[in-house]
Amino acid sequence: MKDKKTLRLVLSYVSRHGIALFLLILFSLASALATLFIPIFVGDAIDSIIDVGDVNFALVKDALEVILLLALAVGVSQWLTSFIGNRITFLVVRDIRRDAFSKLQVLPLSYLDSHRHGDIVSRIISDAEQFADGLLMSFTQLFTGVTTIIGTFVFMLLLNVKITVAVVVLTPLSLLLTSFITRFTYSMFKEQSEARAEITSNVDELVVNQKLVRGFNYEVRAEAKFNKSNDRLTKASTRAIFYSSLVNPSTRVINNIIYAVVALLGALTVIGGGMTIGGLTCFLSYASQFAKPFNEISGVFGELQNSLACACRLFEMIHEKEIEENGTLDTFVTEGKVEFDKVDFSYNPNKPLITDLSLKVNPGMRVAIVGPTGCGKTTLINLIMRFYDLNDGSISFDGVDISTLTRQSLRSNIGMVLQDTWIKNGTVRENISLGNENATLDEVITAAKSAHAHNFIKRLPQGYDTVISNDSGDLSQGQRQLLCISRIMLTNPDVLILDEATSSIDTRTEMKIQDAFSKLMKGKTSFIVAHRLSTIKEADLILVMRDGSVIEQGTHNELINKGGFYATLYNSQMPFNEEE
């Protein structure tokens, strides 16, 4: 049932290209008809030779000329059929891949967090390619095959009804056999596609983290893990190909039997005077043409199962539930007053994380969020940005519930620097202007100077026009983080979120960045997640979190004098704090 649903979805994409599909059918029909007329002239030529008793070169010459013209028509029609079929295939795959990537932009982060990134990449790249191969074979053989079957059936009826009935009675055996085999191959190709995704995920994971693999002497175990995935893919592929490859030889056996039956019945008919030798030759040609498409279509069915299995994985992603955009207010400017009202949230319903959190932040305040690992610091940032929606309660900006805002209007007011840096494939200038693509070069340079990134950028081969990427080794982790900070300096947002924004930067540069941040944060509400407590001593408000709840809040001095959990955390970092 699942493959039928997938097939309907594929056909819905194909139907978008109606004109091309009409031309495909038209040229397939032309190719089939031209092919069908060739045996008639061959048979007439043979009969004319036998009837006359001598070779009539004029008749043979006329027949050859017609056959040559028909063969040329077949060649042109088949080329056009192939070209149009290719075009429809690539357009359909383009549309599906585009929809899959567009879906990726609106899927909730919970989906991305719960699926291996290599699996998602495999769906959009590898599965789409496999789907294209199967669909291409379908277009190039299915339409021509169907028209050939219908055409030969009509022509055989005109030549001899009884022999045609025998052919039609025996032919369904190949269809039944094909149906029986392909019924089991869909699940096999689905397993093959999943195994391919698994090995893609493993390779992606091990390549990206190669330094850790080598640093912890994990090479042997990594290779064993890869070999396990590789063996699974090999077994799944071998099993799927073995069973699907049974279709073609099985149908050929049946087709040979049909040909032998036609030859025998035809010979008896010729002896009885019901058919000429030229007519038998023509009929045998039609019998072969009638059987050939069944071989080709049976091969298509095997490949189509693989194609549909890959398409199914793509459609599963395309039809995943999107982020619900319940906000309608798309223009919003905040003064920076943020309020949490009895907020409840958990990633897993069975494991509460943030419960009954209430908090008021006045405009212009610098709010630091501290606490042990897993206490909910980054989760709090995710909720402010609406990367995740609340289970209960509300968060409001200037009295406006953020759930009534579109995510785009909310995030346009917020600038964020994360501990995990991301550099897109492009120039340094393009990376800095990611949030403000209309920025001039002077504005980009000013932002880079504020982030203390200008000096190292000047040393790059082409300066601000140097092409960089997230995977290149041209930049250190600290330099990448400086570029990310430059983006924020350029966008100059109303609300700032700094999640360990200087974790990869040396102490001396960090002091300069902190000074730049102080200027940037002036008059703006800022949320600062920090593990090094010495960096947030000047914050207007420090929230101390543990197990999803704010257990203490106040200024640095107030919390130190209180002698509570914050004081314990701060004193545990005392050697580092003194060094600062």
Q: What percent of the chain has pLDDT over 90?
A: 2
- Give per-residue pLDDT as tens, 67-108: 889 889 888 988 888 888 888 888 888 888 888 888 888 888
How far apart, in whole angstroms, are the C-alpha atoms of residue 410 and residue 406? 6
Mean pLDDT of 7-22: 85
Q: Which of 236-240, 247-251, 345-349, 456-460 has the lowest average pLDDT?
A: 247-251
Degrees, nearest 5: CA angle 538-539-544: 125
- Give per-residue pLDDT as tens, 492-510: 888 888 887 666 667 777 7
Determine the pLDDT at residue 438: 86
Q: Which of 132-146, 152-166, 428-442, 538-552 has the lowest average pLDDT?
A: 132-146
In this structure, are residues 27 and 74 in contact, taking their beta carbons and an 8 Å threshold? no
Helices (H), 53-116: 57-106, 109-114
> pLDDT confidence of 140, banded at 50, 70, 90?
low
Determine the pLDDT at residue 70: 87
> pLDDT confidence of 50, banded at 50, 70, 90?
low
In this structure, are residues 504 and 478 in contact, taking their beta carbons and an 8 Å threshold? yes
Determine the pLDDT at residue 464: 92
Determine the pLDDT at residue 213: 73
Which residues lie closer than 8 Å to 486 by C-beta, 6 or more apart? 432, 444, 447, 448, 450, 451, 453
How far apart, in whole angstroms, are the C-alpha atoms of residue 366 and residue 536? 9
Mean pLDDT of 11-31: 85
Determine the pLDDT at residue 576: 47
CATH of region 2-318: 1.20.1560.10
How far apart, in whole angstroms, are the C-alpha atoms of residue 376 and residue 546? 7
- Give per-residue pLDDT as tens, 381-432: 888 888 888 888 999 988 888 888 888 888 888 888 877 777 888 888 988 8
335-413+497-506+523-580, superfamily in CATH?
P-loop containing nucleotide triphosphate hydrolases (3.40.50.300)
Domain with CATH 3.40.50.300 in the chain: 335-413+497-506+523-580, 423-492
In this structure, are residues 174 and 254 in contact, taking their beta carbons and an 8 Å threshold? yes
3-state secondary structure of 421: coil
pLDDT for 278 beyond 80: no
Is the Cα torsion angle 430, 431, 434, 436 positive or negative in sign?
negative
Q: Tell me the helix, strand and coil percentages in the chain, rounded to 5.
A: 70, 10, 20
- Give per-residue pLDDT as tens, 179-235: 677 667 767 877 887 888 888 877 777 776 776 677 767 788 888 888 888 888 888
Domain with CATH 1.20.1560.10 in the chain: 2-318
Determine the pLDDT at residue 4: 75
What mean pLDDT is reported for the chain?
Answer: 80
In this structure, are residues 283 and 159 in contact, taking their beta carbons and an 8 Å threshold? yes
Q: Name the CA radius of gyration of the chain, rounded.
A: 35
| Widest Cα–Cα separation across the chain | 123
Mean pLDDT of 460-481: 81
- Give per-residue pLDDT as tens, 420-469: 777 888 888 988 888 888 889 999 999 888 888 898 899 988 999 998 88
How far apart, in whole angstroms, are the C-alpha atoms of residue 530 and residue 214? 30
In whole angstroms, what separates CA 131 from the centre of its chain?
A: 12
- Stated pTM of the model: 0.66
* Greater pLDDT, 462 or 297: 462
Determine the pLDDT at residue 451: 83
Determine the pLDDT at residue 352: 77
Determine the pLDDT at residue 276: 73
Side-chain half-sphere CA neighbours of 284 within 13 A = 21
Write down the architecture of domain 423-492 according to CATH.
3-Layer(aba) Sandwich (3.40)
